[in-house]
Amino acid sequence: MGESQQKKVVTIGGGTGTFVVLSGLKHIPSVSLKAVVSVADDGGSTGRLRDGYGFLPLGDARQALLALADENGATLMRALFNYRFSKGDIAGHNFGNLFLTALTDILGTDSEAIEAASQILRVEGRVVPVSDTPATLIAELENGESITCEHNIDERVYGRSPIKSLTAETSIDISHDAKDAVHEADVLILGPGDLYTSTLANFVVSGLSEEVKTSKAKLVYIMNLFTKAGQTDGYSAQNHIDAIERHIGRKPDIVVLHTGVFPEKILKRYADENEFPVVDDLPENNNIIRGVFADVVEAQQLEGDTVPRSFIRHNPEKISEIFKTLL
């Protein structure tokens, strides 16, 4: 199928959620994929490298590159990019983050580094940072307090005052590549992922919300499976939609909502972290796609990995089937 006949699909997000979506969508032959990724990550390995070198935080870009990598020809390279060191001065660092930082230092720009990594991994699609400038997030809370930096906002602080709005510490502009990707898109996909620190973090960049609001593309939101302590305590599905509209100025045209039941043993693990299944309080209409779209997975905590890993994630194949129908 020629490029002009392909549907242009753009994901806007970061982290594991975007990885899962891209992993499923890349197998649809009629789709041309671009992943717009956040530049606000400042925790863990990514944050240490950002502080040390001043480059864009490339953790979300790494996840997207791995999702789009050729599974047949780059199996070892994918494992290498995911490798996390556990000893010495580089303990906690991810090889892919170190590799992308080195490429940026050698080639001079983050975009050239991502392009070079794309060739090495034989990527099917493009990964595009939402801005050419790193962002520092500020969350304004309903009680008047504010929290600065993505990793602080991301902390699991149950019962913290709800987030009222999300902004950047200094004004930064949307990158030309991200602007073009959104402008040309047939479908825009938000989520799944932490609502504020993964999805809406992109929209603190000046110009993105304007592009999405005026885009003729269908806007699809893949609803999170669980609430996130400190970010979306007590959020129902409608609360998620309201937050998206408040920050973007546009409601999703389509919402994908998991309705399956999870094992009590797994639910207890989430409850121990004060995180609970998102309650479905959305209306019954054709714009809400309900079904069983998630699986229980064995998410092992690796030595040196400081990020808590989820046990339940969306299934890439099931996500792919949804979009085959939508497209």
- The pLDDT of residue 25 is 96
Does the global pTM surpass 0.95? Answer: no
- The pLDDT of residue 47 is 72
Please write the tens of the pLDDT for every residue from 5-62. 799 999 999 888 999 999 999 989 999 999 999 999 887 777 777 777 777 878 899 9
pLDDT band at 76 (very low <50, low <70, confident <90, very high): confident
pLDDT > 80? residue 308: no
pLDDT above 70 covers a percentage of the chain that reads 94
Residue where the block lists tokens 């950002």 = 50
Cα separation, 320 vs 300, in Å, equals 25
Query: 68-72, 236-240, 322-326: which has the minimum mean pLDDT?
Result: 68-72
pLDDT > 80? residue 165: yes
- The pLDDT of residue 304 is 46
pLDDT > 70? residue 3: no
pLDDT band at 70 (very low <50, low <70, confident <90, very high): confident
What residues have CB less than 8 Å from 52, skipping those under 6 apart? none
- The pLDDT of residue 309 is 52
Helix and strand counts by DSSP (H, E) for the chain = 12, 12
- The pLDDT of residue 74 is 56
Asked if 192 and 223 touch (Cβ cutoff 8 Å), the reply is: yes
What is the overall mean pLDDT for the chain? Answer: 90
CA distances from 23 to 17, 62, 121 (A): 10, 13, 14
As a whole number, mean pLDDT of residues 157-178 equals: 96
pLDDT > 80? residue 239: yes
As a whole number, mean pLDDT of residues 189-209 equals: 97
CA distances from 291 to 88, 224, 254, 288 (A): 46, 13, 14, 10
Please write the tens of the pLDDT for every residue from 104-127. 999 999 989 999 999 988 898 999
pLDDT above 90 covers a percentage of the chain that reads 72
- The pLDDT of residue 307 is 47
Half-sphere exposure of 83 (CA within 13 A, CB side): 13
As a whole number, mean pLDDT of residues 285-296 equals: 94
The three-point CA angle 209-213-218 to 5° equals 115
pLDDT > 90? residue 279: yes
Query: 62-66, 229-233, 301-305: which has the minimum mean pLDDT?
Result: 301-305
CATH architecture designation of domain 3-41+131-326: 3-Layer(aba) Sandwich (3.40)
Cα separation, 206 vs 183, in Å, equals 15
Cα separation, 152 vs 251, in Å, equals 28
Helix (H) or strand (E) holding 51: helix 44-53
Asked if 204 and 135 touch (Cβ cutoff 8 Å), the reply is: yes
pLDDT > 50? residue 177: yes
